[in-house]
């Protein structure tokens, strides 16, 4: 009992903190990264990718809300798979989570460094990469309530700057600032902006359409730290998704209406470029602040989520038990938090934004491909009425099949542009699985692996 108490995390979070974690991680996707859809699919391919990904993540949010509100444990999808699919699937999902969020954290730091360098060319972007990650690591080390309250404030401000850009562009007066007619205008020496590569470009754009929403599934990492997981997780996750759908649509409309598609498709900070196009100083200042705050909120949430997954794996001895330690005063998984810092900094130092984003997306997609299988098996093993659920998502199993289909289509999209990255990622996870099966699993204490007080599954 003493050991179990030592490894417990504080239950101090509510729906607002869950919203702040989910939206905070993702909102940076509206400030950077989404615009690569324009380079691949043109302005209309980008819109298709935006809403295609929105449907995909609606399925993700519903599935996660049911399973995570029932399996209220740190590790999120890792903990779910441990109870439903088994140890090997859980190990891989844990790795997917860690690399998805660590790479996203590195991308956030890269963008902060690039933006700060715009203030003065002499400023070193790599220094700001290190300073950003170090500050947020300290914040997470000190306590989850403090770090996610901080996230709630800066995420709210960043979202309001997107609304400010919409009004600053005078959307009610098309043609004055927002040049909607330029969506149909072909620049000299460039392809048709509507769809530069035809339907193939629409498919390729799906890869970066995910960036609008990537990370919302991280809300379930708070399950063990929520005061009431059955209430906080569904409310925080679903309200967060609605927030992101609104922000993504505004982002596409304003971004494509203010910046030509060639510039937009290669920009490191597209919404800031859109603000510059308005010519209004107050809009430019607000979007500069919003971009910085969105990157900070995202990186902060990524540290939270990656460390919880690493901590949960350490607690179960899927990795050395050392990483399952909890700080005696702050009750945070401090060893996991500190261990992941060099990984994020190393990738941040590369400065290769699209490569880092692609690795993050790949890891997330691999997780999304397993989530529908996990959900379908969960309902088969524990039919309705057999266990208490915090939330029941509708139309089962249709959302699971939709998610599986959309994830497969996005894998095809990644293949067209980054097939080498895809092969490298798959080989990495394959070799990690072999290591786990033949070396690490024999060190796992299987008697303490399954912690949910559920009845015997149906069919067993």
Condensed to tens digits (0 to 9), the pLDDT of residues 69-95 reads 888 788 889 999 999 999 999 999 999
Locate 313 and state its tokens.
């794996």
Q: What pLDDT score does 108 carry? A: 82
d(CA 68, CA 62): 10
Q: Which pTM value belongs to this model?
A: 0.88
d(CA 27, CA 158): 8
Residue 455 resides in a domain = no
Q: What pLDDT score does 374 carry? A: 93
* Selected residue with higher pLDDT from 276 and 188: 276
Sequence-separated (6 or more) residues with CB below 8 Å from residue 458: 380, 381, 382, 383, 386
Residue 121's CB is within 10 A of a number of other CB atoms, namely: 6
d(CA 52, CA 26): 16
Q: What pLDDT score does 351 carry? A: 64
Q: What pLDDT score does 307 carry? A: 94
Q: Is the pLDDT of residue 2 over 50?
A: no
Q: What pLDDT score does 131 carry? A: 82
pLDDT band at 36 (very low <50, low <70, confident <90, very high): confident
Q: What pLDDT score does 187 carry? A: 58
pLDDT band at 161 (very low <50, low <70, confident <90, very high): very high
* Selected residue with higher pLDDT from 8 and 145: 145
pLDDT one-digit tens code per residue, 275-293? 999 999 999 999 989 988 9
d(CA 398, CA 400): 5
Q: What pLDDT score does 5 carry? A: 42
Q: What pLDDT score does 188 carry? A: 61
Q: Is the pLDDT of residue 116 over 90?
A: no
Average pLDDT of span 154-161? 96
Q: What pLDDT score does 191 carry? A: 61
Q: Is the pLDDT of residue 104 over 50?
A: yes
In whole angstroms, how far apart are CA 358 and each of 34, 104, 366?
12, 9, 12
Tell me which residue range forms the domain holding 61: 2-444
- C-alpha dihedral, 77 to 79 to 83 to 87, nearest 10°: 90
Q: What pLDDT score does 4 carry? A: 43
pLDDT band at 435 (very low <50, low <70, confident <90, very high): very high
Locate 98 and state its tokens.
């860690």
Q: What pLDDT score does 195 carry? A: 66
Residue 458 resides in a domain = no
Average pLDDT of span 173-192? 69
**Highest mean pLDDT: which range of 73-87, 102-116, 208-222, 427-441:** 427-441
Q: What is the 8-class DSSP label of residue 426?
A: H
Average pLDDT of span 127-151? 89
Average pLDDT of span 47-76? 87
Q: Are 311 and 324 in contact (CB under 8 A)?
A: yes
Residue 449 resides in a domain = no
pLDDT one-digit tens code per residue, 197-238? 777 778 888 888 888 998 898 898 888 899 988 889 999 999
pLDDT one-digit tens code per residue, 442-456? 988 887 788 788 888
Q: What is the 8-class DSSP label of residue 10?
A: P
Q: What pLDDT score does 404 carry? A: 92
* Selected residue with higher pLDDT from 185 and 55: 55
Q: What pLDDT score does 249 carry? A: 93
Residue 8 resides in a domain = yes
Of 304-308, 340-344, 434-438, give the lowest mean pLDDT range: 340-344
pLDDT band at 41 (very low <50, low <70, confident <90, very high): confident
CA-based torsion, 308, 238, 251, 363: positive or negative: positive
Locate 361 and state its tokens.
């997306």
Alpha helical stretches, state H, 340-447: 341-350, 353-381, 398-435
pLDDT averaged over every residue in the chain: 86
Q: Is the pLDDT of residue 3 over 50?
A: no
pLDDT band at 185 (very low <50, low <70, confident <90, very high): low
Tally the domains of the chain. Answer: 1
% of the chain residues with pLDDT over 70: 93
**Highest mean pLDDT: which range of 32-36, 102-106, 208-212, 428-432:** 428-432
Average pLDDT of span 47-54? 90
CATH number of the domain that 54 lies in?
Answer: 1.20.1740.10
pLDDT band at 415 (very low <50, low <70, confident <90, very high): confident
* Selected residue with higher pLDDT from 415 and 82: 82
């Amino acid at each position: 009992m003493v050991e179990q108490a030592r490894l417990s995390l504080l239950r101090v979070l509510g729906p607002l903190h869950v919203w702040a974690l989910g939206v905070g991680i993702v909102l940076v996707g509206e400030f950077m990264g989404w615009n690569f859809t324009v380079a691949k699919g043109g302005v209309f391919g980008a819109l298709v990718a935006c809403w295609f990904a929105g449907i995909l993540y609606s399925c993700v949010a519903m599935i996660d809300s049911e399973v995570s509100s029932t399996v209220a444990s740190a590790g999120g999808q890792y903990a779910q798979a441990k109870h439903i699919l088994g140890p090997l699937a859980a190990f891989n999902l844990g790795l997917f989570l860690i690399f998805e969020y660590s790479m996203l954290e590195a991308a956030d730091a890269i963008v902060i460094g690039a933006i700060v360098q715009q203030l003065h060319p002499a400023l070193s972007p790599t220094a700001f990469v290190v300073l950003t990650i170090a500050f947020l690591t300290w914040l997470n080390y000190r306590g989850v309530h403090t770090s996610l309250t901080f996230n709630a404030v800066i995420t709210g401000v960043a979202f309001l700057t997107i609304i400010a850009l919409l009004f600053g562009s005078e959307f009610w007066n098309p043609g004055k600032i927002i040049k909607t007619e330029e969506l149909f205008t072909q620049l000299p020496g460039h392809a048709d902006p509507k769809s530069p590569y035809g339907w193939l470009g629409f498919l390729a754009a799906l890869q970066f359409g995910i960036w609008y929403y990537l990370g919302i599934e991280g809300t379930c990492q708070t399950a063990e730290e929520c005061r009431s997981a059955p209430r906080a997780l569904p409310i925080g996750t679903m309200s967060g998704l609605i927030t992101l759908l609104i922000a993504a649509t505004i982002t596409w409309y304003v971004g494509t209406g203010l910046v030509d598609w060639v510039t937009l498709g290669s920009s490191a900070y597209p919404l800031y470029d859109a603000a510059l196009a308005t010519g209004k100083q107050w809009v430019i200042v607000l979007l500069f602040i919003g971009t910085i705050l969105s990157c900070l909120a995202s990186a902060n949430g990524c540290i939270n989520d990656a460390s919880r997954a690493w901590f949960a794996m350490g607690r179960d001895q899927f990795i050395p038990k050392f990483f399952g330690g909890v700080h005696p005063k702050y009750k945070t998984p401090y060893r996991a938090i500190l261990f992941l810092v060099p990984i994020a900094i190393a990738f941040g130092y590369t400065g290769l934004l699209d490569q880092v984003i692609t690795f993050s997306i790949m890891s997330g997609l691999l997780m999304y491909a397993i989530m529908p299988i996990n959900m379908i098996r969960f309902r088969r093993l524990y039919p309705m009425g057999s266990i208490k659920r915090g939330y029941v998502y509708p139309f089962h199993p249709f959302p699971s099949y939709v998610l599986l289909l959309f994830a497969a289509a996005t894998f095809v999209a990644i293949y067209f542009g980054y097939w080498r990255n895809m092969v490298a990622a798959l080989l990495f996870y394959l070799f990690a699985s072999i290591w786990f099966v033949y070396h690490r699993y024999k060190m796992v204490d299987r008697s303490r692996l399954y912690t949910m007080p559920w009845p015997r599954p149906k069919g067993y």
